[in-house]
Amino acid sequence: METRDIKEAVKTGKVKLYQLEEYIFEHLFNSDAEQFKQAVETAENIRAEIMEEKLGATLDKIKDSDKYKEKDFINTSKLKEGEVVKGTELKIGTAKIPLSVAGPVSIKLDVLDEAKEFYMPIATNEAALVAGLNRGFKAINKTLEHAKTNNIKSQFTTGITYNGMTRAPLLEADDIESAQKFAEKINKGKYDELFRRVVKENAQYSTFMDANAYQVQNKIWLRLRFNTGEAMGMNSAVKYTTAIMKELLNENKYPENKQIKLITLSGNLCCDKKAAMINITEGRGYKAETSIIIPAEILKEVFDVTAEKIIKLNFWKNHVGSSLAGSVTGMNANAANTIAAIFTATGQDIAQVVESATCFTFAAPVPEDCGHGKGALKFSVTLPCLEIGTIGGGTGFGTAKEAFKIIFAPLYKEIEKQKQEENKETMIDDLDKYINNEKTNNPKSTIFAKLIAISVLAQELNLLAVLSHEYALCNCHMKLARGEGSIKDK
């Protein structure tokens, strides 16, 4: 048997992608324990090659191919105007985390005429995470196929609101009265045109959105908000805030602000890398929400669970349990797991998982007269402060860059399809131009946010279903992580 035979076995459905390690170890290496490591590496490489062929993407760095083994590293350094910009300091190499792929989940985005299969790269050391995510995707796929077959509205929706990136400098006045008057000017928009002009002078793509002042004693926090385009935008927000403060506090230009002093560029009201209620109520980054109605028969088939069990567990665990623990941002089962794995795979600022994993998970019954039958479940998640970008930071380096090829592969293929159909070069010659047909802020990051929200929903649904089965959580982790059997009753 050769690798091409194994690929053919996968294509014909004889072997599932997740079964490659066992299949190759047995059939290619005759279960020889001394060749186990090679069998696993072969499985990973074949799986990556299959994904390349399916998606039409090149994943040489993810495969760690011979082409890159000798000299590849994540090069955050660059040469700018003759000076070395290191990016990150004192580098000694690259940290590696296992990278898997979850999916497909077959969904229709606004820029597509029909549903396409999307995959999500997942970087994690945790067993069962990808398996659980795929089980959730399976439920979504079956639900959407059921709706299509039975000609009923699927009730699967995903909405995105861009809330902007914030920075909150802390200022000080001579006294309370002066602080109150300054804050009032900010909140009435007296300096909005100034802020807008300063950002325009210092930015290529970003724009000023708004500013709000919060005053306590003689201190004033300004929560400045910017649209930073496809970038997550934290560095940009700092840059624009600096420029704004230098202009606003220039006593020659604005003598009325002579006695206002800058204490710090960040006064923690932003609120960056901390769980905070202000990010829930006012937003930061993207607000991403998704909801689906799943028929009872699909809940039974995929999870062997009823809507009633999911609803009960979600209320007492995710809402009451979290409230008793004093959580204000964790009304969910494990949203941080999915988001951290996606952030790691795609070069996001991993520390921002703290606020980005703020998630409210909802489960509710569905009336029988809605067309979904008896016992259907409405399942939803809301992520009020998802801080992501598709450019900047670590998104353009190493395997993260290829991870985005995986995410956007269906869109790239659609572009090629349109070119071939028209048999000529079209105006739609790259991803940016193609998805900009969608009338929305930051279209690539908007699509990314939608796919993250759908992934979180899938994982939340799966974990609640697992937890509804008493000891199943322990048993599946012991099996997938340690190869151990179930814990026996004594």
Condensed to tens digits (0 to 9), the pLDDT of residues 278-327 reads: 999 999 999 999 999 999 999 999 999 999 999 999 999 999 999 999 99
Q: Which of 21, 49, 60, 126 is catalytic?
A: 126
Q: Is 63 known to be catalytic?
A: no
Distance of CA 47 to the CA centre of its chain: 23
pLDDT of residue 438 exceeding 60, the answer is no
Asked if residue 118 lies in contact with residue 105, where contact means CB atoms within 8 angstroms, the answer is yes
DSSP state at residue 270: S
Could you tell me the domains of the chain? Answer: 1-55 (no CATH), 98-164+271-490 (3.90.770.10), 169-264 (3.30.70.420)
Asked if residue 285 lies in contact with residue 163, where contact means CB atoms within 8 angstroms, the answer is yes
Runs of H (alpha helix) within 113-191? 129-149, 176-187
The answer to pTM > 0.85 is yes
> Can you give the pLDDT at residue 474?
56
- The angle formed by the CA atoms of residues 187, 188 and 190, to the nearest 5 degrees, is 105
Q: Is 319 known to be catalytic?
A: no
Q: Rounded mean pLDDT of the chain?
A: 89
Across-strand partners of 166? 225
Asked if residue 206 lies in contact with residue 240, where contact means CB atoms within 8 angstroms, the answer is yes
Residues 6+ apart with CB under 8 A from 286: 160, 161, 162, 163, 383, 385, 386, 387, 388, 445, 446, 449
Q: Is 477 known to be catalytic?
A: yes
Q: Which of 7, 116, 219, 273 is catalytic?
A: 273
Percent of the chain with pLDDT over 70: 88
Q: Which of 44, 52, 289, 349 is catalytic?
A: 349
Q: Is 5 known to be catalytic?
A: no
> Can you give the pLDDT at residue 66?
60
Average the pLDDT over 418-424 and give the result.
Answer: 67
Residues 6+ apart with CB under 8 A from 255: none
Work out whether strand 99-107 and strand 116-123 pair parallel, antiparallel, or are unpaired.
antiparallel
Nearest CA to 260 out of 218, 224, 225 is that of: 218
Q: How many Cβ atoms from other residues are within 10 Å of residue 196's Cβ?
A: 15
pLDDT digits (tens, 9 = 90+) for 42-74: 888 899 999 999 898 888 888 876 655 544 556
Q: Which of 312, 419, 477, 479 is catalytic?
A: 477
pLDDT digits (tens, 9 = 90+) for 198-249: 999 999 889 999 999 999 999 999 999 999 999 999 999 999 999 999 999 9
